[in-house]
Structure 1
Amino acid sequence: MGSSMIRCKIEFYIRENELTLQGFAEKCGLNRGTLSAIINRNPPRNISVRELDRITQGMGLPEGELYFLYVEECLMQSAPHWRRVKPFLLRCAAIGKLNCIKIILEILADDLSNIQGVFVTAEQMFEQGHQEASGLLYQCVIECEKYNNSERLAISCYRLFQLNIGQDAGGNLRAALRFEPYRRGLPVQHRLDALIELIKIYFSVHNWEQLESLADELIEQSQAVYTERERSKRTSNPSRAEPIRLHKPLIRYFGQGYLCKATALQKMGRYEEAKEAINFYADLSWLEPANDEEVKQMLQFQEWATANSFTQDILMGHQEMLEPYVDFLQSHPEEILPGLVTIIQSANQYHFSIDWILDEFADSISVFDQFTDVVNMERRLRFAIQYSIYCVRRGRMKEGMESCLKALELSAVTNNETHFGDLIKEFMYARKAGLEGGESFLSSKL
């Protein structure tokens, strides 16, 4: 029926517009013989998706207008053939015909031998940036896969995890929990990237124990790749398997592992252990960076090590380190937001004034709203909370309440419930303090 309907539409258009077959073929940019075989041969010649697009354009119809009829002609009346199915799926993804993709997947799922083709096509869609369409195919693979230890199952779960990451911290955590059981089934080049993405999520929800565990796993996996590479250099057998190709330089994975481990230890108050972890990524020259990009990354980790060494000292209450830390932040603007979070947290814990520092960085603070990635949204939230605490304790009630409300707003945007307890405590502190204008300001804003 599908091919007959497409053929009927073509014939009707030709008659209605008083065209010859040759004239319509030229309008579509097709060979006359090809068009004749599609219309006149019995049974009709199969139409490729490229030809269908040209015919649709030649008839002046919207892009993809005939796709539902093509689904019937291509799939529902005969066994699907990947030579036609794959290009059609890719075109549907490109122009957003998701309903057509869903219909095709229902048909393909009836024969499990199609699942490898679905997976390969999903990977191509993902690389091309067709996220929503690729998600449909990955979900099909997950639902049809027979083996729990399948690599393509693990990769499909990883891709859905990547597609589901956004600004919603709660949603990100749920996506992480669904994916985590499958991460060990990933090939190592994907597993390293997956660990970094999981680390970011557990950082945002302040699960420091899990953060440390994932950082240790990242270091372990990086070490395994390094050991294998060193072994490959020493072997004289040219037939050995091709070395693992990572998406990023190995130096980055090692550095991220130790950096995140130090961060987790710092957050748990284990500052001396954190300093030991910092020493590991302060000098990564033993990995022998092979090009300018790797040298650049090595130097970046050195800078981060310097910044985070300052962080440990500040968090331990060493006020004599404030001036050199401020000098460091002024020459490294990308560190200002996390640096001020550290400084204000220490000021609140050890009860010292940092008004001069806040004045120094007033312009930088005024543009924090421009930072909208997951990590910096979490930093902005922590800064708002700590700044609220700082102001309320110094009697600057209005300023403190404004920052507290800002923190509540950021908590809602990111769906991050981790900080709600801190916020409520500060509101209670403000109420108990009974400072002039505090309660009336809060009630007017709410």
Structure 2
Amino acid sequence: MFNSAVLESVSDINLLTDMLRAEFSLEDWDAMIHIADKLYLSIRTLYDENQLRQAKGQPRIDTKKLKRSVAFYFGYAMVAKGIALQKMGDYTAARDCIEKYTELGWIYGLDVEGQADVAHFRMLARANTYVLDLLEGKMDTLPEYVQFIHQSEEEELLPGIITILEAAIKYDYNVDWALKEFQPTLDSLDGNYETDANIRYYIDHLYLMALYNLKNANYSNALNISLKALGMSDKLKDDTGYKKLNALFVSFSVHATKDQLEAYNVLNNKILGRVLKDEKGIMYDGSSFVSAR
């Protein structure tokens, strides 16, 4: 007889994974921790039940409805929880999460895809250990981390830049040399990303780049980066990023040039015009409201 809780976990696993991605894009760290725990419990329940059935010689529960390997869900749950804890400043708990996905080879019955996922999470564990070291002020690890990013998959670039900038801002550390190494690749990015997570990384790296420049009194560069990021946030429909960047630009607008203020006004007029486009009986001509009748 099938365990109803296990059957429910099978149907929930893919949904919980999608929910984690959504909460990451919204930067809701408490929700991420809650959902990550549910995902880990669900995949653990499924895995343990199948191990028990195999030991008893009973038919295993069909996992074909899962979009990824069992190892992926174990790792993804702990990576997501670790990131949320890191963002909340609980580095000790975040390290505990890293330990849980450093080595997932204990999972029985992994196919080629599963083995690849194990290797991927092993790499992420190394990367996120560097991240926590830097965020705890161990800036002597920066050269090693820069080399690690160079040698890693492309998807590690933006999270790596974000970590470097966060540590630099937090500890008043000059990382110009590190940023310069990645500048050609960063300049080639156009923000055409397909997932909310990638959009979040792209906008956040611009936001932190602006903050880093502001903290170093490079106001012109900071406001130019903010304007670029505001335009990309609008294009990519990233409301979370837009709110932060808008507040940043307005707060430091006293340092803006006439051209920068004009560019900011043009962007906001464009947004307002688009928002009012479908309003009945009213139009926006760029400077005032006019009747559409």
Q: Which residue, out of 211, 214, 233, partners 1:389? A: 211
**8 Å contact from structure 2 (residues 29, 87) kept in 1:** yes
What amino acid is the match of 1:404?
S
**8 Å contact from structure 1 (residues 337, 368) kept in 2:** no
Please show how residues 218-367 of structure 1 align to structure 2 within 5 Å: 218-236=39-57, 238=58, 240=59, 242-245=61-64, 246-332=66-152, 333-367=154-188
**In the alignment, does 2:238 pair up with 1:416?**
yes
Deviation by residue 1:408-446 (Cα, 9 ceiling, x = unmatched): 1232234333334532442244345x4xxx332421323
**In the aligned structure 2, how far is the partner of 1:298 from the partner of 1:289?**
12
Q: Which residue, out of 251, 255, 258, partners 1:440? A: 258
The structure having more radius of gyration, on CA atoms, is 1
**In the aligned structure 2, how far is the partner of 1:350 from the partner of 1:371?**
32
What amino acid is the match of 2:151?
S
Superposition deviation, residue 217 in structure 1: 0.5
Structure 2 CA distance for partners of 1:242 and 1:311, relative to 1, 3 Å: closer
Deviation by residue 1:10-65 (Cα, 9 ceiling, x = unmatched): xxxxxxxxxxxxxxxxxxxxxxxxxxxxxxxxxxxxxxxxxxxxxxxxxxxxxxxx
Q: What SS does structure 2 have at the residue aligned with 1:372?
A: coil
**8 Å contact from structure 1 (residues 192, 218) kept in 2:** yes
**In the alignment, does 2:249 pair up with 1:427?**
yes
**In the alignment, does 2:189 pair up with 1:368?**
yes
**In the aligned structure 2, how far is the partner of 1:260 from the partner of 1:197?**
12
**8 Å contact from structure 1 (residues 388, 401) kept in 2:** yes
Report how many aligned residue pairs link the two structures: 258
Deviation by residue 1:365-387 (Cα, 9 ceiling, x = unmatched): 01222551221111111111111
Please show how residues 38-77 of structure 1 align to structure 2 within 5 Å: none
Structure 2 CA distance for partners of 1:441 and 1:393, relative to 1, 3 Å: farther
Report sequence identity in percent.
Answer: 25
What amino acid is the match of 1:225?
L
**In the aligned structure 2, how far is the partner of 1:186 from the partner of 1:422?**
42
**8 Å contact from structure 1 (residues 189, 247) kept in 2:** no
TM-score, with normalisation over the residues of structure 1? 0.54
Worse overlay, 360-369 or 274-283: 360-369
Structure 2 CA distance for partners of 1:427 and 1:243, relative to 1, 3 Å: closer
Aligned to 2:17: 196
Deviation by residue 1:54-102 (Cα, 9 ceiling, x = unmatched): xxxxxxxxxxxxxxxxxxxxxxxxxxxxxxxxxxxxxxxxxxxxxxxxx
**In the aligned structure 2, how far is the partner of 1:199 from the partner of 1:243?**
24
What amino acid is the match of 1:444?
E
What amino acid is the match of 1:402?
N
Q: Which runs of 5+ in 2 are unaligned?
A: 265-293
Q: Which residue, out of 214, 220, 223, partners 1:398? A: 220
**8 Å contact from structure 1 (residues 232, 243) kept in 2:** no
